[in-house]
Amino acid sequence: MNANVKNQGLETTLDFSDNAVEVKKNSKAGRAVAAASIGNALEWYDFSVFAFFASYIGHSFFVEGDEVSALLKTFLLFAVGFIARPIGALFLGSYGDRVGRKAALTLTIGIMAAGTFIIAVAPPVWVIGVGAPILLLIGRLLQGFSAGGEIGGATAFLVESAPPEKKASYAAWLQASMGISNILAAFVGMMITTFFTDDQITGWAWRLPFLVGLLIIPVGYYIRYTLDETAEFEAEKKSMDLTKKQPLFDVIKLYPQHMIVGILFSILWTVCVYVLVIYMPTYYAAANIGLGFSRNDAFTASLIGNIFMIIGCLFSGKMADRFGAPTVLKLSCLVLAVVSYPLLTWLHGSPEFGNLVVVHIILCFSVALFSGVAPSALAGLFPTQVRSSGMAVSYNIAAIFFAGFTPALMTWATTIDIMAPSYYMAVAAFIGYLATVWMYKLVK
């Protein structure tokens, strides 16, 4: 700060320019994190709610049968929504690389709102027959299309808004926001299962969580709409003719190895989240698993565990900025390979609520060690001009098979062996470790 005081003319000039610039940077950074985080949290809130209330949704949209059959059908419909994700990734990722990160982020949240609205108000199967699951399918496809572009656009925006020394810390908020969405979803689920009877939830109260999501969406839309574009994208925009830009074709043609390793890397990212965070609350309360926990117990454990997921994501992001992302990612792969088997063995041997909470806390924190660093690592694999497309497509190709079908696969696999989630995690962690090694050979 400089000061120049002229006593004779009683004129005082104070230059606060350095502090003003710093405050402006901090404010802009905070808005960037808030915009990406709140939108991403709302996107994933709807996915979490669908998974958490899958058994209730199944009763409304499919003809009555045994519980496992209805749950399988609902999770298969959950998985079908992931088929739309690569299409959304192709369109919205390319749109973000051509038009801008801000435009893509605003569009994704609008499409998600439409899908959520359809699910919230669709009549049940006993009112409109086969039209009920068709409407549910349309809602899921819109949600999937939107989510397909979210991961690339939001991560690109965060990484490009961050100072060079804090890129992992900024991008960690992307996965931390998923923890926030899971907390909100679990809290709403806990409230619903506390204040409504099982028959009321099955009949109509399962729709309330989707209506809560609709109420919050305008806030996220406004924050994103009022954003500034990232400096990196603006510089890229000035340096080339964007009307001739074909980011999707460019990333496939110029960076084929990067795409392959991005897909392999994303296998563990999707599996660890969808097995240990999204599916496990269903596992804890499933009748065929035999743990004896209520859905309210499972929602409560999920709520507490996701608090530690948020903490873990921010912690792993800071550790990656300090010690390097490869070190944190490799260590987290090893943790994810071995942690779930002894925890689930202990829980089955002593199925008490306190133990359930401890188990889910450790599982969520373990997931956070990897997934907190994953967004910045995958973003760093692709250059600015194809970053949104490269991330969106590689992540969502993995997501079709290793996220969308994971809850259905685990529901089936646990009828054969209740420890199936642990075996699945070990295989995914091995693939993730190899992909991490390959990734950092490519970006050297």
Structure tokens at 296: 């309210």
The two tokens of residue 138 are 């349309």
What does residue 417 show for φ and ψ, rounded to 5 degrees? -150, 120
Residues 6+ apart with CB under 8 A from 286: 71, 411, 414
Q: 214-232, pLDDT tens digit by residue?
A: 877 787 777 777 766 666 6
Distance set, CA 166 to CA 27, 163, 393 (Å): 16, 5, 25
- What's residue 8's pLDDT? 45
C-alpha span between 242 and 301 (Å, rounded):
48
pLDDT in tens, 333-363: 999 999 999 999 999 999 999 999 999 999 9
CA gap 307, 122 in Å, rounded: 32
Distance CA(352)–CA(349), nearest Å, equals: 9
Three-state helix/strand/coil letters over 92-120: HHHHHHHCCHHHHHHHHHHHHHHHHHHHH
DSSP-assigned beta bridge partners for residue 257: none
pLDDT in tens, 52-85: 787 788 777 776 655 666 667 777 776 777 778 7
DSSP 418: T
Global pTM reads 0.76
Q: Are the beta carbons of 301 and 356 closer than 8 angstroms?
A: yes
Q: What is the pLDDT, as a whole number, of residue 20?
A: 44
- Bridge partners (DSSP) listed for residue 2: 15
Q: Mapping DSSP to helix (H, G, I), strand (E, B) and coil, where does residue 129 land?
A: coil
**In angstroms, rounded to a whole number, what is the distance separating the alpha carbons of residues 106 and 225?**
6
Identity of the amino acid at 65: G
- pLDDT for 377 equals 92
What pLDDT, on a 0 to 100 scale, did the predictor assign at position 110?
84
Q: What is the residue type of 337?
A: A
User: What local confidence, expressed as pLDDT, does residue 342 receive?
Assistant: 97
Quick one: DSSP state of residue 83? G
Assigned token pair, 16: 């606060």
Residue with tokens 């406004």: 222
Cα angle 175, 177, 178 (rounded to 5 degrees) comes to 65
**pLDDT in 10s for each residue of the chain, 444 residues:** 444 444 444 444 444 444 444 444 555 666 777 777 777 777 778 777 877 787 788 777 776 655 666 667 777 776 777 778 778 877 887 777 777 777 777 888 888 888 889 988 989 888 888 788 888 889 888 888 887 777 777 777 777 777 878 888 888 888 888 888 878 887 888 788 888 988 888 888 989 988 888 877 787 777 777 766 666 666 666 665 555 556 667 778 888 899 999 999 999 999 999 899 888 988 998 888 989 898 889 888 988 998 999 999 999 999 999 999 999 999 999 999 999 999 999 999 999 999 999 999 999 999 999 999 998 899 889 887 788 788 888 888 888 888 777 877 898 999 999 999 999 999 999 999 999 999 998 877
* Distance, first Cα to last Cα, the chain: 40
Q: Residue 261: its pLDDT value, please? A: 95
Greatest C-alpha distance within the chain: 92
Q: Do residues 176 and 314 touch, judged by C-beta distance below 8 A?
A: yes
Q: Which pLDDT belongs to residue 238?
A: 63
Q: Which residues contact 65 (CB under 8 A, 6 or more apart)?
A: none
Domains and CATH numbers, the chain: 30-442 (1.20.1250.20)
Which segments within 162-320 are labelled E, that is strand? none
